[in-house]
Amino acid sequence: MNKGFISVVLLIAGSASAAWAMYSNSFYDAPPTPALEVVNADGEVVGEYRAPLARDILSEENAEDIIYGMRLLNETSRLLPDNVGNGLNCNSCHMAQGKRPLGAPYINTVGDYPKFMPRSQAVLDLTQRINGCFRRSMNGEPLPDDSAEMHAMQAYMAWLAKDLEPGQRVNIENMDYFKVGQYTPDPVRGERIYSQQCAACHGQNGEGMKDQFGDYIFPALWGDESFNIGAGMARLSRAAPFVKHNMPLGVSLHAPLGQIELSEQDAVDVSAYFTVKPRPDFPDKIFDWPGVPNPPDSRY
């Protein structure tokens, strides 16, 4: 058997297991997460966290808001065409509806803001942080601060943390900032990995793939329908850890399915390949990192 054949088989198996995971969790919920530690302000373990299930939203007083927020995060491009300037949804990057450690989860988000952001050298509240993703990751326009949509997205994020007491957080990382800098990126090798492990879904030219309704099933990785150069994902230090732990899709589902696992070097190489491809500009980039040097992996 040649390698190409094996990867196609693994890919089909991976997609099938992802489909099964969706089917087995009706109401398009994310697969249940394992128990995670809850820690207090001193870092002591004080309990256990499991992401709540979508079907339990109905017992919440503000159920309508939470469900609207969940839909907006899942179907952003379709529901908010005036605010989204590409083919992405929030949850194209915030994996498993923001419930997955190392997949840019929203689990601790509500408690972590306001927060100092090095990129703006300022303390940002959650509304500003979300609008940062609208302007950069979604290459679009910010939502009005007091809109029903902004409120609903935050209601969903607050619901994920509903069982945490003030000062508590779940002991997880949003991204594994493994020392990307200790690897020498090889984009030529990255291109090969891209063809073998990514192109079947994201397209040979990074263009992604649409379903029969014109919605993306596999999001674009570069070009006009992708995130702009101001997005976190355009930086190697963000893209490589994301790719390592979340791609190819289905990689984390247990054996015998989804066994293709990238090494850190693989993730660095493939990310060095796709992050520098042409993508929309971000004119407000001139306001980033005011008074401090831009980090070495910024595109500007």
Q: Of these, 51, 158, 221, 229, which contacts ligand HEC (CB under 6 A)?
A: 221
Exposed/middle/buried for residue 242 (C-beta within 10 Å: 0-12, 13-18, 19+): buried
- Shortest Cβ distance from residue 70 to ligand HEC (Å)? 11
Peptide bond into 31 cis (omega under 30): no
Q: Of these, 38, 51, 54, 133, which contacts ligand HEC (CB under 6 A)?
A: 133
Q: Of these, 39, 57, 70, 138, which contacts ligand HEC (CB under 6 A)?
A: 138
Under the binding rule (CB under 6 A), the answer on residue 218 touching ligand HEC is: yes
**Closer Cβ to ligand HEC, 57 or 216, answer by number:** 216
- Shortest Cβ distance from residue 147 to ligand HEC (Å)? 12
Q: Of these, 57, 153, 164, 170, which contacts ligand HEC (CB under 6 A)?
A: 153
Under the binding rule (CB under 6 A), the answer on residue 92 touching ligand HEC is: yes
Under the binding rule (CB under 6 A), the answer on residue 129 touching ligand HEC is: yes
Q: Of these, 10, 93, 150, 272, which contacts ligand HEC (CB under 6 A)?
A: 93
Under the binding rule (CB under 6 A), the answer on residue 38 touching ligand HEC is: no
Under the binding rule (CB under 6 A), the answer on residue 279 touching ligand HEC is: no
Q: Of these, 67, 220, 253, 257, which contacts ligand HEC (CB under 6 A)?
A: 220
Q: Of these, 233, 240, 253, 257, which contacts ligand HEC (CB under 6 A)?
A: 233
Q: Site residues (CB under 6 A) for ligand HEC?
A: 11, 14-15, 76, 88, 90, 92-95, 104, 108-109, 112, 129-130, 133-134, 137-138, 153, 174-175, 197-198, 200-202, 218-221, 226-227, 231-233, 238-239, 242-243, 247-250, 262, 270, 274
